[in-house]
Each structure stands twice: as structure tokens, then as C-alpha cells.
Structure 1
Amino acid sequence: MMSEKLAETVAEIAATLSARADRGRVADYIPELAGVDPGQFGIAVADAGGHMATAGDAATPFSIQSVSKVFALTLALGKIGDSIWHRVGREPSGNAFNSITQLEYEKGIPRNPFINAGALVVSDVILSGHTPKVALGEVLRFLHFVADDETIFIDDKVARSEEATGFRNAALANYLRAFGNLKNPVEMVLGTYFHQCAIAMTCRQLAMAGRYLAFGGRHPTSGGGVVSSDRAKRINALMLTCGHYDGSGDFAFRVGIPAKSGVGGGILAVVPGKASIAVWSPGLDAQGNSVLGSDALEMLSRRMGWSVFGD
């Protein structure tokens, strides 16, 4: 069962942040996200047994956006293993998540799988010659499995909104194709990527889905393996160093746990051996990371002594 201290800490954090006036700015460049109420905040912490400590809007679905890249990378590694690292790097970007100049400088090899260019390569791997519908079905089935919840869905309105405004991602995809780093047609890769980012989940579902990364690659409910413990460690390492784009170093300094953010305002965080955490608040900072979500994780990590760098 969840400790009384953790439940009290989660409730205190939500109460403190509910009074916060500065919440950042929603991702208004995606029309469907522009109208999301920035006053919302949710947090859920799940242990190996699926026990939950929650507060705020933890049961409200939101667009997970780039948080989906963690699950897509897991699937891609399952398909082609470490050969994926010939096509995408493992270094922090130090630039915006949708930088075109960096991709040009790197000659079509994205810096890591969590910036947009890298995620497009991952989507290309998942497609593997199939249709986007088949590839997306695989992504959803994987999420249903790791979250123990078959109600997770793709928000078609958000996907269409991204397709209508995703010109920079289209430019990145065409640039990747020009360097031979996309094997499938550009429009199919983009369609897969936009719909993957439009997956809707609650904090409760997201915290459950991340448990395999917190507990050595195992599915805590069934006890079966999702990935090897070594691969789980490596995905966590990438989340720690690259999970917050050009704000990753600051997040590691402040919070000290692996995490992946999305411009929908969600963050999935992992405390190895202890818990999987999901936070959500739609207002973003200049780097595209949730303002209240980042603050909540910093408060939680400090109070529980959960930094991977020590108490």
C-alpha cells in the first residue's frame, strides 16, 4: 500500500500549486490545444502493485504529445534493437525540439529520439512497411497492455489539428528523407507521428503505463517482461538527459529523476525501484515543458528523497 507520507505529500503539493498564478502558456500553435483550460493540474503516483496516490485532475484525459515518444521508442527497440542507434543519436540536443538547423548540421541523423526529428525516425521504424493504421494499432495495444486499461484512445480532433499546422514537422520529415533516414513515404510517417502524439490519457493511466520503466522492465501486474532490465535502464538514461529538450539539464539539476515531457502539459517521471509518476498542467515554459508539472516533481522528489543522485 502507498505510504501515508506519500499520500499527504501529493495532496499538499496539489493544494500549494492550486494557488499558483503563474502557470505558463498553453501550446496555442496547435489549435485544439489552444483552448485547454490552463487552470487544471493533476498528479498520480503508482507503485509496483498499482496502488495510487492522486490529487487534482488526475482522472481528466489530456493529449500526451511527446510523452508518447517513450512508448514508441520501446516498440522500435523491440523491432530492430540497438541498430536504431545508427539512425538516431543519444545526446542531449541543446536546441529547440523542432530545430531544423541542428538536423542540417548533423547531416540527417537526429541528436536523440525525443526531439521531433528523432521521433519521426522512430515512427518510421514502427511503420516497417505497414499502413499507419496498423502501426498505430500496435502503439495503442502496447499502451493498453502496460497501463492495464483498454480505454486509452487517440483524439482524432487533436491529430487533425496537428496535421493542419505541422509544417515544420513536414519539413523535418522531408529533410530526413533527403538524407535517406526515412524508409517509408513521408506522408505515412507524418500521419503515424501526428496520431501517436494525439493519444489521450489521464495521469492515472500514464502513471500505470510507466511502471515497467520503474521496475526493471517488468510488467508489475503480470510479472512478465516488457523489456530487459538493461534496456529499461537505457531508456531511463535518455529520459534523464534528453526528456525535456533544451531544458533537460535544468530539470535533471532541479528534480533528479528520469522524465519525459509533452507540450500537452504532461510529464511521465520514473523513480527506479519505487514509483512511476504522471503530472499534468497545460501551461508551458519557454522550452515547452509544463510549469506546474515541473515544480510538482521537484517538490515531490525533494520531500520523498527520490533523486537518483541521492537523498
Structure 2
Amino acid sequence: MQNIQPVIDSIYDIMQSRLGEGKVADYIPELAKIDPKQFGMAVTTVEGETFVAGNAQTQFSIQSISKVFMLTLALGKTGESVWKRVGREPSGSAFNSIVQLERESGIPRNPFVNAGAIVVTDMVLAGHQPREAIGELLRFIRYLADDETISIDNKVAQSEQATGYRNFALANFMRSFGNLHHPVEHTLGVYFHQCAISMNCVQLARAGLFLANRGRNPITGHSVVSDRRARRINALMLTCGHYDGSGDFAYHVGLPGKSGVGGGILVVAPGKASVAVWSPGLNEVGNSALGSEALEMLANEMGWSVFGA
């Protein structure tokens, strides 16, 4: 795996002339302030080596990537009963769509669209105060990344709380069907704070490494989830991790991943590595424009694909 550094250096060089492509998520006021002309990448292998390029140490808001970690917690807490309240199918609708939810009686299609992630957060909230549930997630991510400095950007959380009308609508709608068990403002308080977790590419690649190594963190030796559960989380990331662009991402990159509107993408090459890329400009379906292309280049160059080399 020694050829990773020249590959990502070459990708970074190619991206230099394209910095600023795409559109930042300006519907969240704090994210609208981010300079789009940034690109970072980190690859952490299952042998524990990390390779970086560009702005890999710059903090950004992980947004929907947090849904992977919250789902892992919920599965640990309630096991397969998670799937009584949220589906496992790609949605084919926008990540914040309410139409499908009405047709399907308040059961979201999957845990990575906003409605599904709100239900998953509601599950983790059981038996906790909102502050405790946020603390549990933050401790879990710090444990995965082996980094106590990871924190929440409260300005982003407040910005989302102030403008998250669609998420309030989704949550109230699901509550009306009995699929939200806590007060809407409590569940959404946790949800907005989880989305506002701030990380850099190095931290994020390390946090996702357990999914590349059969549920075990090879650097710390900690067993996080069973091999079977890691495979299943990866399956959901492959089919549902990129909103409306999930099929396209699987076609071009061929690896499980989860994007966030902060411009980050976490990708898992099972048995090989965990990859985090960040560039704030988004494409038309809400995924990092340059990040998606960089991951396609990396997967092609390294011969990484779940569909065979």
C-alpha cells in the first residue's frame, strides 16, 4: 500500500485548478460562510498508516456523516428492532422529502435520509436527557478516532436550530404517526448538535476505520461491532449513503460511503482503508463535487471496489 501517497498527491494537484467548484450549503447560514476553495483528503489503512493531502487538518462540520455513528450506537442499543421504525431501502427522493413519508405512514425509507436519521436519534435518546445523548455520541466518536479533542461547533448547531423548519416538519409528521417517542424539540436538539460535530479528514478517516476492518479498530485493538454488523452498515452506506446520488456514487466509486452537506465524505474500502475527503462545494444532489470525483480517481488508481478489481 506504499503507493497511496503519490496517488493522493496527484489527485490533489489535479483538483488545484478546480477549487471552488460546486455550491456551499448556504441554507445553513454558518455553512454559507465557508471558503469553498479548499480540498483535503486522508487515507488510513487497516495497517494503521495515514496518508494526507491538502487541507486534511482543517476542521469542518460533518453533518450527515454523523448518521453512520448514530446508527451504530442505535444498533448497539436496540439491535435489529431498529428496523421496525426505519427502512433499509434507497429513497429516490430528496434527503428532506416529506411526500414519501406520508405515503409510507411515517416510516422513513432508510436511516440516512433526514427523517430516518431523526428516528435513529430518537432511539438513542431513550432513557437519556438530550445533553446525555449528545455526550454519548461525542464520546463514541472520540473513542473511534482515539482523539479527545473532537467537539461540537455550537454556532453551526444554533444556525441549524434557527433555520431547520423542514426538519421540524418531518419530526412533527412522524410524531403524528407515533414514530417519534420523545418531544420533537428534544430529538431535534440532539440531531442538530450531532450534525454540528466538527472534525478534520484525519480524524474522520480514523473514526471510520472499524468499518474497513470487520468491526474492529486495528490501531487501538478495540472491537466496536461484530463483523456481520460492520458489513450491514457498509451495505446501507453503499445503497443509501449519498441521497439521490447513491446509485451514481456506487457506479463511479464502487465503495460504501456517507456524505454530508458540509462537504465531507467518509468512504470505506473493506479490508483496505478508510478514506475521508472534504471540499465544501456541493453538486446538484448535495454531495461534495470535487470530493466525489477525487474518490472515483482514488478507487480507480488503487483498484478498490466492492465489485471486484
In the TM superposition, 1:105-254 aligns within 5 A as 105-254=103-252
Shift of 1:105: 1.1
Counterpart residue number, 2:66: 68
Which whole-Å deviations, capped at 9, do the CAs of 1:100-155 have from their partners, x for residues lacking one?
Answer: 10111111000000000000001001101311110010001101111010000000
SS in 2 for 1:270: strand
Counterpart residue number, 1:295: 293
SS in 1 for 2:266: strand
Conserved? CA contact 2:264–2:278, under 8 Å? yes
Unpaired segments of 5 or more residues in structure 2? Answer: none
Counterpart residue number, 1:42: 40
Q: TM-score, normalised by structure 1?
A: 0.98
For residue 32 of structure 1, the aligned residue among 26, 30, 35 is: 30
SS in 2 for 1:234: helix
Conserved? CA contact 1:95–1:102, under 8 Å? yes
How well do the aligned residues superpose, as a CA RMSD in angstroms? 0.8
For 1:191, give the aligned amino acid.
G
Counterpart residue number, 1:274: 272
Runs of 4+ in 1 over 6 A off after TM superposition: none
Counterpart residue number, 1:56: 54
Conserved? CA contact 1:37–1:282, under 8 Å? yes
Which whole-Å deviations, capped at 9, do the CAs of 1:147-167 have from their partners, x for residues lacking one?
Answer: 010000000000000000000
Counterpart residue number, 2:9: 11
For 2:297, give the aligned amino acid.
M
Distance in structure 2 (CA, Å) of the matches to 1:189 and 1:205: 26
Distance in structure 2 (CA, Å) of the matches to 1:49 and 1:274: 8
SS in 2 for 1:8: helix
Conserved? CA contact 1:129–1:184, under 8 Å? no
Shift of 1:51: 1.2
Distance in structure 2 (CA, Å) of the matches to 1:168 and 1:217: 34
Which whole-Å deviations, capped at 9, do the CAs of 1:74-97 have from their partners, x for residues lacking one?
Answer: 000000000000000000010100
Shift of 1:21: 5.5
Counterpart residue number, 1:78: 76
Distance in structure 1 (CA, Å) of the matches to 2:134 and 2:53: 31
Q: Identity percentage over the alignment? A: 66
Conserved? CA contact 2:62–2:197, under 8 Å? yes
Aligned length: 309
SS in 2 for 1:247: helix
Distance in structure 1 (CA, Å) of the matches to 2:20 and 2:32: 17
For 1:87, give the aligned amino acid.
R
Conserved? CA contact 1:24–1:285, under 8 Å? yes
Shift of 1:224: 2.8
Shift of 1:222: 2.9
Which whole-Å deviations, capped at 9, do the CAs of 1:164-219 have from their partners, x for residues lacking one?
Answer: 00000000000010000011111000000000000000000000000000000002
Q: More displaced, 221-230 or 297-306?
A: 221-230
Distance in structure 1 (CA, Å) of the matches to 2:221 and 2:59: 27
Shift of 1:22: 6.2
For 1:77, give the aligned amino acid.
L
